[in-house]
């Protein structure tokens, strides 16, 4: 393949994706089983990896006239899906076949076809405490004398898995925990470790998994909105052990739409006076989010994007007083098929009001699974890329997340198209290719 650019030293420095990539999934529920079963279906040629940039996306290199847009998976030294091995933890003993059947996201036929593979993935006992997820009663859980002991048990799990694979990435696909504000215990590695010894209440199970992963140099992605790696102790640990992290909460349905529409209004200087978002959702995630404390965590994550995109401090006449409301209602008949409604009150020339209604009848886990796959493959790439892994936070992966993580003091970029450009330019950069600025004056010389 002609990549059309200078195959520079930067390429040579990325370690190749040789051997097996081990993926440790925390929480083997709807998203995780849809992700795992989907990867197996794609490997067998039963279905296509729709929605996955790493599997189906292309990247333009050089000028538009060069006609050079290789597939990302041919351009980059990404792990091949055939080399991906899964394991995970859950608070229930169901294997991935049983859990996928329970989630009812995928057709029965497909799950039956994949059964021999799926039933080999059995969850390890989880780190769990009902204080942090009120609606669940875990039975398959680790016991330990304190949180430090539990972290050590997760480290043991990681080390055991490492014996069977060449590299490891961890991803949180477990339930949303209660809202926790960063406290003193989160401010340094030392304080956090003391907190593990003292069973500090501000240390939730997700933080214990993340601490174990980052301590072992394992990259960590957070699919949920919990406070997990977005505090100084974890950023420090991530940098110290060159274990990439990347923000939180898969950007799948309503927020995905928000971060597409809001930049369009802003680009055309259309004002917004109100944005009312509501959802009905009937899966276990919906049940967990029915608890006000878990909902608060989700709400914070969902509310953030508009404020940053609209920059009301720069455009007070357009966006200063937006009434923004987000609701999630647990409605069992819909299962994983969520319906998200948005009513957007906008105004145009001379202040005349208009309305936009969005009704997104989506499938939550179908939208989340390719994001989980891309995050895992890109974090593994980041870990093998010297110029990225030592940075800790991988801001270029914000594209996938409702709550991007940034360097201290830097506002997050929520606009999906800026995020997409940032992601692709980062990939060009690490591969020694020229960045694309979209200036294009040279075509008219």
Ligand X SMILES: NC(=O)c1ccc[n+]([C@@H]2O[C@H](COP(=O)([O-])OP(=O)(O)OC[C@H]3O[C@@H](n4cnc5c(N)ncnc54)[C@H](O)[C@@H]3O)[C@@H](O)[C@H]2O)c1
**3-state DSSP percent of the chain in helix, strand and coil, to 5:** 45, 15, 40
Structure tokens at 319: 């966006």
Q: Pick from 36, 79, 91, 322: which binds ligand X (CB under 6 A)?
A: 91
Instruction: Evaluate whether 25 touches 223 at the Cβ level (below 8 Å).
Output: no
For ligand X, the closer CB: 249 or 395: 249
How far apart, in whole angstroms, are the C-alpha atoms of residue 421 and residue 418? 5
Give 300 or 345: the residue with its C-beta nearer to ligand X. 300
> Three-state DSSP class for 61?
coil
Structure tokens of 258?
């928000």
Binding residue for ligand X, selected from 14, 21, 23, 30, defined by CB under 6 A? 30
Give CA separation, 379 vs 221, 296, 374, 405, in Å.
8, 28, 8, 14
Q: Does 176 bind ligand X (CB under 6 A)?
A: yes
Q: Does 234 bind ligand X (CB under 6 A)?
A: no
**Would you say 92 or 97 has its CB closer to ligand X?**
92
Question: Which residues within the stretch 359-418 sit at the binding site for ligand X (CB under 6 A)?
Answer: 364-365, 367-368
* Coil, strand or helix at 257: helix
Close Cβ partners of 91 (under 8 Å, ≥ 6 residues apart):
126, 128, 136, 138, 139, 140, 141
Contact call for residue 127 and ligand X (CB under 6 A):
yes
Per-residue x/- mask for ligand X, residues 264 to 303, rule CB under 6 A? Answer: -------------------xxx--x---------------
Residue nearest to ligand X (CB): 29
Of 174 and 421, which has the nearer Cβ to ligand X? 174
* Piece of the chain touching ligand X by CB under 6 A; list 52-60, 76-84, 248-256, 353-361: 248-256
Nearer to ligand X, 217 or 223 (CB): 223
Structure tokens at 332: 């069992």
CB 393 within 8 A of CB 238: yes
Question: What phi and psi values does residue 26 have, to the nearest 5 degrees?
Answer: -90, 115
Asked if residue 97 binds ligand X (CB under 6 A), the reply is no
Residues interacting with ligand X, by CB under 6 A? 26-32, 89-92, 103, 126-128, 133, 136, 173-176, 205, 223-224, 249-250, 252-253, 283-285, 288, 364-365, 367-368
């Amino acid at each position: 393949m002609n990549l059309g650019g200078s195959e520079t030293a930067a390429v040579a420095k990325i370690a190749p994706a040789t051997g097996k990539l081990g993926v440790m999934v925390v929480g083997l529920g709807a998203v995780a089983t849809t992700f795992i079963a989907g990867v197996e279906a794609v490997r067998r040629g039963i279905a296509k990896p729709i929605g996955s940039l790493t599997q189906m996306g292309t990247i333009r290199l050089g000028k538009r006239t060069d006609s050079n847009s290789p597939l990302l998976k041919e351009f980059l030294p990404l792990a091949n899906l055939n080399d991906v091995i899964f394991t995970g933890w859950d608070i229930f003993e169901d294997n991935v076949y049983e859990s996928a059947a329970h989630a009812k996201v995928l057709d029965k036929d497909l799950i039956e076809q994949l059964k021999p593979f799926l039933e080999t993935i059995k969850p390890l006992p989880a780190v769990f405490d009902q204080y942090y997820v009120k609606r669940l009663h875990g039975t398959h859980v680790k016991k330990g004398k304190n949180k430090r002991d539990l972290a050590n048990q997760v480290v043991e799990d990681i080390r055991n898995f490492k014996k069977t694979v060449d590299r490891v990435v961890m991803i949180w696909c477990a339930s949303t925990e209660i809202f926790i504000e960063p406290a003193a215990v989160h401010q340094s590695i030392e304080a956090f470790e003391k907190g593990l010894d003292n069973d500090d209440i501000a240390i939730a199970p997700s933080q214990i998994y993340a601490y174990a992963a980052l301590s072992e140099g394992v990259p960590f992605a957070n699919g949920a909105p919990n406070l997990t790696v977005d505090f100084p102790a974890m950023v420090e640990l991530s940098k110290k052990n060159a274990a990439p992290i990347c923000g939180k909460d898969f950007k799948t349905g309503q927020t995905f739409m928000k971060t597409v529409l809001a930049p369009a209004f802003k680009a055309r200087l259309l004002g917004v006076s109100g944005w009312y978002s509501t959802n009905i959702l009937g899966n276990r995630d919906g049940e967990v989010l029915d608890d006000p404390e878990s909902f608060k965590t989700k709400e914070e994550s969902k509310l953030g994007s508009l404020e940053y995109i609209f920059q009301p401090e720069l455009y007070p006449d357009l966006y200063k007083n937006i009434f923004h409301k987000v609701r999630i209602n647990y409605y069992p008949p819909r299962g994983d098929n969520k319906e998200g409604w948005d009513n957007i009150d906008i105004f145009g020339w001379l202040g005349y009001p208009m309305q936009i209604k969005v009704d997104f009848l989506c499938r939550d886990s179908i939208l989340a699974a390719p994001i989980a796959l891309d995050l895992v493959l890109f974090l593994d790439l980041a870990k093998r890329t010297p110029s990225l892994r030592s940075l800790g936070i991988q801001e270029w992966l914000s594209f996938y997340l409702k709550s991007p993580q940034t360097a201290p003091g830097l506002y997050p970029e929520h606009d999906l198209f800026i995020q997409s450009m940032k992601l692709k330019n980062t990939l060009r950069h690490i591969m020694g290719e020229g960045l694309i600025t979209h200036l294009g004056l040279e075509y008219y010389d």
